[in-house]
Amino acid sequence: MSAPEKVLWEGRPSWWTVWPSLAIGDLILLLAAALWWTGRAPLAPWAALAAAPFYLLAAVKRLSARYTVTDQRVRASLGLLSRRVDEVEAADIRNVILTQSFFERLVGTGTVGLSTSAGDGVEVVLVGVPRAEAVKEAVRQARLNAPKPAPPPAGAPDGG
């Protein structure tokens, strides 16, 4: 029986990943305020209501992803109505890749990709994580501290 998992990091994508939707919503609210300020008050509530879908889209996009790094595995759970779960065992991780654009470096977010020797390319991607360097380091520590599988006994068939 294995020991219970210890959560090293858990989170969602940063709000910075949805900034375009938030910025459009803010611009529409500014338009609503300008309409109200210039005496066109009957149009202001409609303009403010037009901002709601942009805020809702940002919230749904952010809340539909949940990332978990434990001492045994890394898990990316994506979706609200339908769900996709990508998971890789910490002992199987071979590469931890951090990518950051210039803007992401400024705000401290980034994308952490994980690959194993068994797969082609990146198997699990944590997009837009806050404090991306710390998340990358948590994954690295999980990989280093994960129990390694026991080698096969001497003289055992290699299965091939």
CATH number at residue 73: 2.30.29
User: Is the separation of the CB atoms in 132 and 94 below 8 Å?
Assistant: no
- Domain hosting 141: range is 7-13+66-145
The verdict on residue 76 lying in a domain is yes
The beta strand positions in the chain, using DSSP E, are 7-11, 65-70, 73-78, 84-89, 93-99, 109-116, 124-130
**Residue 74 and residue 134 in one domain:** yes
**Residue 39 and residue 87 in one domain:** no
**Residue 54 and residue 80 in one domain:** no
CB-based contacts of 60, cutoff 8 Å, min separation 6: 80
> Structural domain tally of the chain?
2
**Residue 33 and residue 73 in one domain:** no
**Residue 140 and residue 90 in one domain:** yes
CB-based contacts of 65, cutoff 8 Å, min separation 6: 12, 13, 76, 77, 78, 127
Confidence of residue 76 (pLDDT cuts 50, 70, 90): very high
**Residue 39 and residue 55 in one domain:** yes
Say yes or no to pLDDT of 9 above 60: yes
pLDDT in tens, 28-63: 999 888 888 888 778 778 888 999 999 999 999 999
Confidence of residue 1 (pLDDT cuts 50, 70, 90): very low
**Residue 82 and residue 97 in one domain:** yes
The verdict on residue 25 lying in a domain is yes
**Residue 30 and residue 70 in one domain:** no
| Other beta carbons less than 10 A from residue 110's beta carbon | 24
